[in-house]
Amino acid sequence: MPFDDRDGWIWLDGQFVPWRDAKIHVLTHALHYASSVFEGERIYEGRIFKLTEHTRRLFRSAELLDMTIPFTVEEIDAACRETGERMGLRDGYVRPFVWRGAEVMGVASKGSRVHAAVAAWEWPSYFDPEEKKKGIRIGRSKWRRPSPETIPSEAKAAGLYMICTLSKDAAEREGYADALMLDYRGYVAECTGANIFFVKDGVIHTPLPDCFLNGITRLTVIDLARWRGFDVVERHIRPEELADFTECFITGSAAEVTPVSEIGEHVFKPGNISLSLMDDYARLVRGALAMAT
């Protein structure tokens, strides 16, 4: 079903409009110059997991792109909740986004208005559920996460996804589910829409998020793992080290906790740590696990 031809409602600049009428002009600044930031959230049993954390990140991303959102955090939170409710979603995905409009055309943005919208839809599993249990196969991307001096890499901004789309498309063409990206220094960074974790000798290792998104799921899983008594080491990881790890998994609001069975020539076994964190996360997001923090 194409995304512009569905039933339902989209919250657009403060009002609900019929799904098919939520349109923008072709000369929208964001479409030409990537002046756009967004969030991706999941609704579990009628509740958006970590809603306000996502909304705060949306505001931070907008600020990093010099955009002032003409709403408050509370208003965007309410818009997200109401969109999910209006769409009748007990389980689903919520996409709030903010962009510069069609008021001006050119690199400079002076005179443009900042718009905001929220859409929500059903989105069962990011990866094929059968493949997810066995562990997904990941290829290597030729693109590198850029230096924070090159781009505001802390923002969840459309422009940062150009190389993610190129990487994921290339990986899928080669039969992989996703791609691992290194950073500008050659360290292991993340996948195209998820953070990455490894296990060696019972210890969890994950790259330092100093040039890519410090995911909300990443932080949740680190808390979960430490609460379960595991050591979690955040550090720079060299690609040669992939050979030493026994387990690997990726995390993201859409990807949740997904075990990895292969990265190129390296093979991993979805083991106790990956599978128990996958299970803990699934229970936590549904309110079925009370984590003492």
Active site residues: 156
Nearest residue (CB) to ligand PMP, 94 versus 101: 94
Query: Least Å distance between CB 235 and ligand PMP?
Result: 18
Which position has the token pair 């789309």?
165
Query: Least Å distance between CB 220 and ligand PMP?
Result: 8
Query: Least Å distance between CB 159 and ligand PMP?
Result: 12
Helix ranges, the chain (H): 29-33, 51-64, 73-86, 129-134, 162-173, 216-227, 272-285
- In what helix (H) or strand (E) does residue 139 lie, and over which residues does it extend? strand 136-145
Query: Least Å distance between CB 256 and ligand PMP?
Result: 9
Mapped onto helix, strand or coil, the DSSP state of residue 55 is helix
* Torsion angle of the four alpha carbons 217, 220, 221, 226, in this order, in degrees rounded to the nearest 10: 160
Nearest residue (CB) to ligand PMP, 101 versus 120: 120
Nearest residue (CB) to ligand PMP, 94 versus 194: 194
Nearest residue (CB) to ligand PMP, 36 versus 251: 251
Query: Least Å distance between CB 16 and ligand PMP?
Result: 25
Nearest residue (CB) to ligand PMP, 13 versus 63: 63
CB < 8 Å & 24+ apart, contacts of 197-200: 197/221, 197/248, 197/249, 197/250, 197/251, 198/237, 198/241, 198/242, 198/245, 198/247, 198/248, 199/245, 199/246, 199/247, 199/248, 199/271, 199/273, 199/274, 200/244, 200/245, 200/246
CB 129 within 8 A of CB 136: no
Please report, as ranges, the residues that interact with ligand PMP according to CB under 6 A.
40, 156, 164, 190, 193-195, 212-213, 215-218, 251-253
Structure token pair of residue 39: 């969030």
Between CA 121 and CA 93 the distance in angstroms is 5
Angle at which helix 73-86 crosses helix 51-64, to 10 degrees, equals: 120
Between CA 267 and CA 260 the distance in angstroms is 9
> Taking CB positions, which residue lies at the least distance from ligand PMP?
215
